[in-house]
Structure 1
């Protein structure tokens, strides 16, 4: 009987270096359609886990292709892999060595497998990412306009702003068509947006970037969003709890939602005011509101029941 295998893949712009445990098989394929077909053929159907290191987006197509072929895929954090390599005393760095370290990291830590989105969900995620980029460019150009005096330069900035605003309208139209064109996404967006503090942009960010919402318990979903506090303690010293990690885009969206909810969502407003009265800082109280808001949204999608103002 063939052993189940763990695979580490180091991704670069044009090439995939692969290392397989426990056989120590190592090979490389091109990062294109031909190479991905060859990769799936060589790995076959006896793979226990495939770990792909996040590499600036180059890993997305690789992970999606392997997942579509039924392989259990996880995208691993490169900082954690580097720390693991240092702990092993691994100083040499080449692509084949990196693939070996990734495989050993996956074997040692057994990271949780996250279901990868299908093609429609990936498109929505890409559209939402593009929207964020355009919004950031508009904000930057508006700041330049505010600081600029020469009329010819101001006109250049104004022309670019108009073009960016037109493109933002086009992207919003595409996103709206994708979400409202899907009965499931439309229902899910309506459920999320039923909560005071959650508008369509936040709802669609959660649709695209947190597909696990409604499927996990409140502790796990808070950890995925980077809103689960972790303690810092050594001996008699105990530091303040912090939040971090998780999906920064989701955390930012929920923080914005919390800013609205603490003013206009009655139960969360009461919760926020109680924390302030207890001596918590505004930042700590707002983060707590964001975490509670996430728990509420998770329960709403779990039960498929819209918000009810208790």
Structure 2
């Protein structure tokens, strides 16, 4: 089956609202409403009943859609993961203010029927595993951050020792997780090829590298404007009549954007092209955050070209 961004309008569109325990579905044009358990057996039975030309639409929710995506890929069915904000704004635009699981499923089905949604490409197994490990690493980092905050209000020496022990344990677990992530990248020919190109760019450390590989699989496949928008680094116009507002970035993948911010801080001091760009913007009176966003966007454009052309770029 060929996966492309454009597609002919499917005869059956199914909106799915996902939760940990179940999935509410709404099919068009039949208007059949079904709730299924969010477990492998129930999802497999449900996808087996769908027509081959179906399009399944659901929000990009962390962790809740893993089983559904696997079942859809196994069956060869097309699906579109949409931004939750886009779905909510579509609901408001159509006059739907209520928000329940069944209403959300119907709204998603209407989106698939009325809008030219891009079909989501099936995730590469290696990248999907990498994304899972990255999610677990972030959880460990958040737990360590919370323990460090609690350290300042421990009160009792015994409690402080307990917190310090937990922080040390989490430090070790994060190191182990970093080794597993590095091994996963090293075991995948595709990830290894891309990693070798990205590592050559100053500012792309191990964590940023893994985030780009695991959370931005589209890198190297889209034009500079679309990849910047996907990462949430594209400025959007704010104009009305004669009023011209400041362009702002919004949306996109927060984890990728945060990783690129970190990389931009280092790259703007080490990459001549980005140093010159930073200095020009500072001389023009641009705010530090605006400069950082612009550098991060330019860095992403450079990385995108490197992966697309499969060769390093002289910086």
TM normalised by structure 2 equals 0.91
Runs (5+) with no aligned partner, structure 2 = 1-9
Query: Is 1:171 the counterpart of 2:177 in the alignment?
Result: yes
SS at 1:240's partner residue?
coil
Distance 1:135 1:173 in 2: 15
Distance 2:289 2:90 in 1: 33
Distance 1:18 1:276 in 2: 52
Q: Which residue of 2 aligns with 1:77?
A: 83
Cα pair 2:12 2:51 within 8 Å, conserved: no
Residues 182 and 55 (structure 1 numbering): CA distance in 2 closer, same or farther, change over 3 Å? closer
Query: Is 1:294 the counterpart of 2:265 in the alignment?
Result: no
SS at 1:241's partner residue?
coil
Residues 273 and 4 (structure 1 numbering): CA distance in 2 closer, same or farther, change over 3 Å? same
Q: Which residue of 2 aligns with 1:283?
A: 289
- Cα offset, 1:230, TM superposition: 0.1
Distance 1:35 1:157 in 2: 42
Q: Which residue of 2 aligns with 1:13?
A: 20
Q: 2:190 aligns with which of 184, 188, 191?
A: 184
Distance 2:18 2:146 in 1: 33
- Cα offset, 1:96, TM superposition: 3.3
Cα pair 1:258 1:286 within 8 Å, conserved: yes
Q: Which residue of 1 aligns with 2:45?
A: 38
Q: Which residue of 1 aligns with 2:7?
A: none
Q: Which residue of 1 aligns with 2:3?
A: none
Cα pair 1:29 1:38 within 8 Å, conserved: no
Runs (5+) with no aligned partner, structure 1 = none
- Cα offset, 1:219, TM superposition: 0.4
User: Deviation per CA, 1:154-198, whole angstroms, max 9, x where unpaired?
Assistant: 211110011101111221121111001112211211101111111
Distance 2:282 2:49 in 1: 59
Distance 1:55 1:271 in 2: 36
User: Deviation per CA, 1:31-72, whole angstroms, max 9, x where unpaired?
Assistant: 21221122111113121x210134452123212321332111
- Cα offset, 1:94, TM superposition: 4.3
Distance 1:55 1:305 in 2: 34
- Cα offset, 1:123, TM superposition: 1.5
TM normalised by structure 1 equals 0.92
Q: Which residue of 1 aligns with 2:11?
A: 4
Alignment RMSD (CA, Å): 2.0
Number of aligned positions between the proteins: 307
SS at 2:285's partner residue?
coil
Residues 308 and 11 (structure 1 numbering): CA distance in 2 closer, same or farther, change over 3 Å? same
SS at 2:239's partner residue?
strand
SS at 1:155's partner residue?
helix
Cα pair 1:223 1:246 within 8 Å, conserved: yes
- Cα offset, 1:216, TM superposition: 0.6
1:160-309 matched pairs, under 5 angstroms: 160-309=166-315
Distance 1:267 1:259 in 2: 14
Q: Any runs of at least 4 consecutive aligned residues in structure 1 with deviations exceeding 4 A, and if so which?
A: 91-94, 146-149
Distance 1:93 1:221 in 2: 31
